[in-house]
Amino acid sequence: MDIRFLSISAPIVSSLFQGVRLVRLLEVQKHRAVSILIRSQFICEIHLSSFIWFSYMV
C-alpha cells in the first residue's frame, strides 16, 4: 500500500518541483524583460523629449 502510493506520488512530486522551477525561471525572465522594456521606454522618452526641445529651439 505505502510502496504503491510512493511510486504513484513520486513522479507527481517531481513534476511539481519541475513546474515550480519553471515558474521561477519564467518570473526571472519576466522581471528581466520588464526592466529592459522600462529602460528602452525611458531612453525613447529621453530621445523624444530632446527631439521636441531641439525642434522647439530651431
Q: Is the whole model's pTM more than 0.85, yes or no?
A: no
pLDDT tens for 2-46 read 777 777 788 888 888 888 898 898 888 888 888 888 888 888 788
15 HSE (CA, 13 A, CB side): 5
Plot region of 13 (φ>0 → left; ψ -120 to 50 → alpha; else → beta): alpha
Separation CA 4–CA 13 (nearest Å): 14
18: its cell numbers: 519541475
Structural domain spans, the chain = 15-57
